[in-house]
Amino acid sequence: MTTTESAPAAAPRTFIGKASNYLEERSGISVAVKEFGRKVFPDHWSFMLGEVALYSFVVLVLSGTFLTLFFQPSMAEVEYHGSYAPLSGMHMSAAYASTLHISFEVRGGLLMRQVHHWAALMFVAAAGLHMLRIFFTGAFRKPRELNWVVGFTLFVLGMAAGFTGYSLPDDLLSGNGLRIIDGVLKAIPIVGTWLSFLMFGGEFPGSVIISRLYMAHIMLIPALIIAMIGLHLLMVVLHKHTQYPGPGRTNNNVVGYPLLPVYAGKAGGFFFIVFGVLVAIGSLVTINPIWAYGPYDPSPVSAGTQPDWYIGPVDGALRLVPPHIESVIFGWTFSWNILIPSLIFGIVLISVAIYPFVEAWVTGDRREHHVLDRPRNAPTRTAIGAALMTAYSVMWAAASGDLMATHFHVDVFLVTHVLQVLLFVGPVVAYFITKRICLGLQKKDREIVLHGIESGEIVRLASGEYVEVHKPIDEYERWRLVDFTSYAPIERTHPNADGKITFGSRMRAALSRWFYEDRISPVKPSELTSGHEQPESLPDN
């Protein structure tokens, strides 16, 4: 796009010139183009995960809009006379009948349903992986803590959007999902029954839940998601993108390709690739064949019921509880068998949300951080991440405990018991293994900086000794291996002005020891020159 001077004297002649002049005189858009047109974006494959989530959301809005043109969010009972013969003459809700209509009578309707469902799975998956990338590279550090919280909110909203949409067709499988929600709501102490009645408009399942979920699914939650995405991206612009450590990459700059044209070309093209992949999957792979489940009826249920993947950990947590934990206190029933797993899942989520603030408090580092950490260079953080992932994965696996039992011909009770143990042991084991791996990798990095890379060449010295030649690395490679911040634990807590050692400072010292006791610092120039095997040519700086 060409921007023209707004001086009336130089009247543009070409069509594009005239059009941009028209726009310019009514918006002053040139300011924005000049400011943002060459904005620099660093390049790395892991930066595309957030893009995948964003583009999946666009696909969701497009395919979802198509679906609303045909879907009837009503639980009014109808007798089915559509083209799917096995259900002919059955009584069902208008919602279920219209979903069958979309699937079997609207050309491209089934395609849009499947694209929509796959895009939803992709959205939550990409958002989750994006969060992991942010976590393991320390991209949540100042000034991005608030954006981490916004992103976390988006992940939770994504799960809510997914669940409300999943329930809309009013089929047997999703109806059982709502039945579980009803049971979970009723477990909330004191007010549970009322919450369930408010949600379902009376007793389960009632006749209003589909239209209520529809409102949440197509208006309330998407509006919140769009607002949050806006805030998320606005903060990305304000902060400028983080970058991986490397030569020339500092906390004071951002190195990469300009928005116009390279980044626009790549990111714009990538949108169509994501869209194309989702449509290809939607045309090739069946998902959620609601006609096979039948309309909702509180009586039947099929074996091996599975929620969509992102609800799995919640469902799995419910399955891992041992029997008989419920108590009656002053006449009120407390269903710990539901409250405790909800609490555990909640604790995992909350600890994810507040992690940046905890780490900032432990390090006391108030500086801005724009250069990412390689995960190995923050061993304790990486280990904590691995532990949380393990806890999440065990709960997730538990949601498929029955399928594991039938597929691998083992006892379902045994699978459950193993997972119960793993839920507590797994994260601890994952923590220590990950931390050791990180420290090992850091040692290897030091080794490479100090001694170079093993070349595989064996030479015999005059004395008869055989040695392997180590090739020194160049200064760019070396910089990649030494440019990271290392933290040292607080060895002694000092009294404050009142002469007291506060609980907070003790706590902080203890945490700092936990985080940084095992620590490997980057190689210093003095170590290179002090008697270690000397790389042959030290590039001068």
Where in 6-35 is the site for another protein (CB under 8 A)?
A: none
**460: its two tokens:** 């015999």
- Site for another protein, residues 340 to 369, rule: CB under 8 A: 341, 363-368
H helix or E strand, kind and range, residue 276: helix 264-284
Task: Please select the residue that binds another protein; options are 169, 282, 426, 427, rule is CB under 8 A.
Answer: 282
Residue 441, H or E segment: helix 412-451
Among 12, 37, 206, 222, interactor with another protein by CB under 8 A: 206
Q: Name the residue nearer to another protein (CB basis): 314 or 389.
A: 314
Chain-centroid distance of CA 510 in Å reads 30
Which residues, numbered 387-446, are part of the site for another protein (CB under 8 A)? 401-402, 412-413, 416
CB of 34 to another protein, least distance (A): 14
- Rounded CA separation 224/230 (Å): 10
| Per-residue binding letters, 480-509, with another protein (x by CB under 8 A) | --xx-xxxxxx-------------------
Compute the distance between CA of residue 260 and CA of residue 225 in angstroms, rounded to an integer: 27
> Would you say 2 or 88 has its CB closer to another protein?
88
| Closer CB to another protein, 463 or 526, in the complex | 526
d(CA 259, CA 37): 6
**Residues in contact with another protein, shown as a per-residue x/- string from 245 to 274 under the rule CB under 8 A:** --xx-xxxxxxxxx--xx--xx-xxxxxxx
**Shortest separation between residue 49's beta carbon and another protein, angstroms:** 17
User: What is the H or E stretch that residue 160 is in?
Assistant: helix 145-167
If the CB atoms of residues 158 and 256 are measured against another protein, the closer one turns out to be: 256
Q: 31-70 mask for another protein (x: CB under 8 A)?
A: -------xxx------------------------------
At 170, is the secondary structure helix, strand, or coil? coil
Binding another protein (rule: CB under 8 A), the pick from 211, 337, 505, 534 is 337
Q: Confirm if 441 and 401 have CB atoms less than 8 A apart.
A: no
Beta bridge partners of 371: 243
Q: Pick the closer one to another protein by CB: 128 or 307.
A: 307
Any bridge partners for residue 279, and if so which? Answer: none
C-alpha span between 271 and 96 (Å, rounded): 32
CA distances from 29 to 8, 34, 293 (A): 16, 9, 54
Coil, strand or helix at 288: coil
Question: Residues 306-325: x/- map of binding to another protein (CB under 8 A)?
Answer: ---------x--xxxxxxxx
Tokens of 138: 């320390």
Q: Which residues from 157-196 bind another protein, rule CB under 8 A?
A: 176, 179-180, 182-184, 186-194, 196
Taking the complex as a whole, how short is the minimal distance between the CB of residue 532 and another protein, in angstroms? 15
- What residues between 76 and 105 interact with another protein by CB under 8 A? 77, 82-85, 91, 103-105
* Interface pattern 120-159 for another protein (x via CB under 8 A): -----------------------x----------------
Q: Which of 298, 346, 440, 504 binds another protein (CB under 8 A)?
A: 298
Facing residues of 505 across strands? none
Smallest gap from Cβ 465 to another protein, in A, equals 32
Nearer to another protein, 276 or 440 (CB): 276
Close Cβ partners of 357 (under 8 Å, ≥ 6 residues apart)? 145
Contacts of 438 (CB under 8 A, 6+ apart): 375, 376, 377, 378, 379, 382, 383
259/40 Cα distance (integer angstroms): 6
Q: How far is the CB of 301 from another protein (least distance, A)?
A: 5
- CA angle, 22 then 24 then 29, to 5°: 145
Beta carbon nearer to another protein, 103 or 434:
103
